[in-house]
Structure 1
Amino acid sequence: MNILDHIQQNYPTLFESEKKIADYILANAAQVINMPIAVLAKHAKVSEASISRFCKKINLTGFHQLKIELAKIQEDRPAQLSEHSTLSDQLRTIAQTKADELNISTENLDEAQLVQVLKALTDCRLVQFVAIGNTTPVAKDAAYRFNQLGITSVAFDDWQVQAAFTLNMTADDLFVVISNSGESTSLLKLIDEVKAKGIKVIAVTNHPESPISLVADFHLTSFSRDAFFHKDYYFSRLSAMYLMELLFLILSQDPARLSHIKAHEDVISSDKI
């Protein structure tokens, strides 16, 4: 993960003045390399002290290290798309960006925690996958796949139905929350309910310091470079879907799980040409 990825991943945790600095750097990384701190402060409309605090916030020693980190990535940085980009440029940039999202999501994995997540999935009575809005299709696809593995799973479109089902869950169950921002108050309410019941929570979010991530028992960090395409709009669900597929494929290596998949395929085979 390069410095721009790190800034984007931590963007929701920044204060307003820090977001101004982040916005300017994300849009003008190459120019910032040669800027004195006073010039960046002028362009971002913040104080020099705010820039120093921003650097500390993203775990850098100071502005000089920020410029060094920016210089390291200029050759490999995905091109910025605009209304003037050719179709070829768009295809190449999007392909590179999406490949990077999957690679960084893999790098973000803590293998020790992944082992615990896999154990929680195999030991539970049932799993409820919950999401709201853009990540709802990820939850529904995950429930379908894990049912194929023989792990009883549910996912609902409607938050009120999610809430009603949550109230019927027991400590033997598992609650998997999928949220790009990790900030949904509706999902946090459901987490409060399941935690009170002693139910383990797995969170899949873009931000390891998000409210949902911090209250979960286990966290898997997805990654999105949507800011390279549209500022303030995080709509990609590719990396979250990938993490669910990753869990599915690892668990499918168990012959017993694989037999469940084959049995399901046999049942639905009559619907295929």
Structure 2
Amino acid sequence: MLFLEQSVELNDTELEIYNFITANLQKVVYMRIRDLADETHVSTTTILRFCRKFKCSGFSEFRVKLKLYAEKRRRIAIDMSDETTYIDFLKRTAGEEFQEQLQDAVSILRQSELVLFVGIGSSGVIAEYGALYFSSLFTLALHIEDPLNHPFYHLSDKLSDKICLVALSVDGENEDIIRYIHELKTQKCQVISITNSSKSSIARLSDANIAYYINKEMYQEANITSQLPALYTIECIAREIRSQIDQTID
């Protein structure tokens, strides 16, 4: 809450003070205690009790901490105008390394009869799109929304080696996905991963990995690294497989 990492238990009156402060951060940092009391229709004593709940000896200390908190939030900015990250990635997709990784993934997928997509957070959204895109172009693909509640303990030998898991992860270290990969590999399923680095745990566990290498971006506690490379890679794989199938038919 505000500049504290833990939550604070507030009564109804204190909650109204808190709501006013959060809605008027830039204004409150320049207020006197009497001004804040008048704005929130409470006494200065109530304001002081409120400040002590936030581990401040008085309103002056609270205001200093609040000002530092407001400045920190203001400094966090996202530069949406820098397109070089995307341009560099797209240039690399024409290179030999990316094309080799792409063909490795295509080779595995062409032997698969069922494709499972898995990802967590924003990668989960891309996984859902990937399942839809693959199903539209060449084979049945399913999105595993919650890997922990979709175990594959009892696959038949006839089916297990026809399943391919496509794991999406920016940092490549999600423990739930790593456990899922281990589970499927014991069933002789193939694993393809699309990650930001080929050195990550998920990449190293995979039978084929496509790494896109772009700058990691964080906003406060959230990982907002672009999913454009993962999206582009999924479409490249699916289109390449469709092209190869069409050539075979012709």
- Normalising by structure 2, we get a TM-score of 0.59
Give 1:266's aligned residue.
none
In the alignment, the residues of structure 1 paired with residue 200 and residue 245 of structure 2 have an alpha-carbon distance, to the nearest angstrom, of 37
Check if 1:116 corresponds to 2:104: yes
Of the two structures, which has the highest relative contact order with CA contacts closer than 8 Å and spacing of 6 or more? 1
Structure with the largest fraction of strand: 2
Give 1:217's aligned residue.
207
Check if 1:200 corresponds to 2:187: no
Give 1:237's aligned residue.
227
Q: Give the SS at the match of 2:209.
A: strand
Alpha-carbon distance, 1:222 to partner: 1.9
Aligned mate of 2:151, from 164, 186, 190: 164
Structure with the largest fraction of helix: 1
Alpha-carbon distance, 1:172 to partner: 1.5
Q: Is the 8 A contact 2:114 2:163 kept in 1?
A: yes
Cα RMSD over matched residues? 3.3
Unaligned 5+ residue runs, structure 2? 1-73
- Normalising by structure 1, we get a TM-score of 0.54
Counterparts in 2 of 1:1-273, with a 5 A limit? 90=79, 92-93=81-82, 95-104=83-92, 107=95, 109-161=97-149, 163-164=150-151, 168=155, 170-227=160-217, 233-254=223-244, 256=246
Q: Give the SS at the match of 1:207.
A: coil
In the alignment, the residues of structure 2 paired with residue 156 and residue 135 of structure 1 have an alpha-carbon distance, to the nearest angstrom, of 12
Distance 1:211 1:84, change over 3 A: closer
Q: Is the 8 A contact 1:122 1:151 kept in 2?
A: no
In the alignment, the residues of structure 2 paired with residue 182 and residue 172 of structure 1 have an alpha-carbon distance, to the nearest angstrom, of 24
Alpha-carbon distance, 1:209 to partner: 0.8
Q: Is the 8 A contact 2:119 2:127 kept in 1?
A: yes
Q: Give the SS at the match of 1:138.
A: helix
Alpha-carbon distance, 1:224 to partner: 2.3
Which of the two has higher C-alpha Rg?
2
Q: Is the 8 A contact 2:161 2:189 kept in 1?
A: yes
Q: Is the 8 A contact 1:224 1:234 kept in 2?
A: no
Aligned residues: 173
165-174 vs 122-131, which moves further: 165-174
Q: Give the SS at the match of 1:175.
A: strand
- Sequence identity percentage: 22
Give 1:17's aligned residue.
none
Distance 1:101 1:228, change over 3 A: farther
